[in-house]
Amino acid sequence: MLVVVHEDYGAMSKKGAEIIASRIRRKPNLVLGLATGSTPVGLYKEIIRLHKSEGLDFSKVITFNLDEYIGIPPEHDQSYHYFMRENLFKDININPSNVHVPHAMFGDLNISSFETDPKIVQFCEWYENEIKKYGGIDIQVLGIGGNGHIAFNEPGSSLGSRTRIKTLTEKTVKDNSRFFKSVKEVPRYAITMGVGTIMEARELLLLANGDGKADAVKAAVEGPITAMCPASALQLHQKAIILTDKKAAAKLSAEFVTYG
């Protein structure tokens, strides 16, 4: 695992975009895993700049997003479909038919049996097969939750888990309530790639910034590999890069980091 600490959010985002751009230049039909949340916004801005000023070409790039809230329509301004359109897709030359964001409108769900709801199970299997059909994800962008989650794999998620429905923890609901009018509006369920799905990507690129991520980054990098910190699974990955700003790296032991 390579941990590279940057002066600030801007430098971290620029480095992340450079890494992605280099992979697209090497393989124009790159299968790119994408993440939502506030962390990758700067990375996406920099990618858009590289597209507009240096002609970084997305015409053959295939994308797969990590997750989506259940029950929020794609046109809702807090859906991850909307986030990706607004923060990236509308400003690059991606072919809409190459974009995959999990579907999350399944009508009324029975909370006591949703994990076996055939509509959801079928969709999740389809999503996994679609990733395989394109040869697997070449590089997956990740954020990290303050509780160590990756995508919506909350603490306790099996490190072998696949795409499925997950219940969000109270911490995640609270963390994400800043994007909604009130905490009551935050969805409680999501479709998410599993930790096992994520670990099959050939390369992982996790970004973390701000004080609020320092404990989670320390647990992921230096703690035991445990389902209680799903990001700690990255320690088992052959090619995982963690980019941080100084604040998110503040609790790491100096010997584990390099400086970008």
User: In the complex, which residues of this chain contact ligand PGA (CB under 6 A)?
Assistant: 37-39, 143-145
Choice between 98 and 177, CB closer to ligand PGA: 177
Query: How would you classify the pairing of strands 67-69 and 62-65?
Result: unpaired
Instruction: Identify which of residues 39 and 79 has a Cβ nearer to ligand PGA in the complex.
Output: 39
Active-site annotation holder among 68, 138, 154, 175: 154
* 147 catalytic per annotation: yes
Q: Let me know: does 103 contact 73? Beta carbons within 8 Å.
A: no
Closer by beta carbon to ligand PGA, 19 or else 121: 19
CA 62/CA 51 separation, integer angstroms: 16
Please say whether the dihedral angle defined by the alpha carbons of residues 146, 147, 150 and 153, taken in this order, is positive or negative: negative
Distance (Å) of CA 92 to CA 46, 98, 132, 154: 11, 13, 25, 31
Report the distance separating Cα 202 and Cα 140, nearest Å.
8
Q: Give whichever of 38 and 95 is closer to ligand PGA, judged by the CB atom.
A: 38
CB of 173 to ligand PGA, least distance (A): 11
- Cα–Cα dist 176/190, whole Å: 13
- Choosing from 6, 149, 153, 209, the catalytic residue is 149
Rounded to a whole number of angstroms, the minimum distance from the CB of residue 259 to ligand PGA is 22
Closest contact distance (angstroms) between CB of 152 and ligand PGA is 8
* 117 carries an active-site annotation: no
Give catalytic status of residue 149 as yes or no: yes
Residues marked active site are found at 67, 147, 149, 154
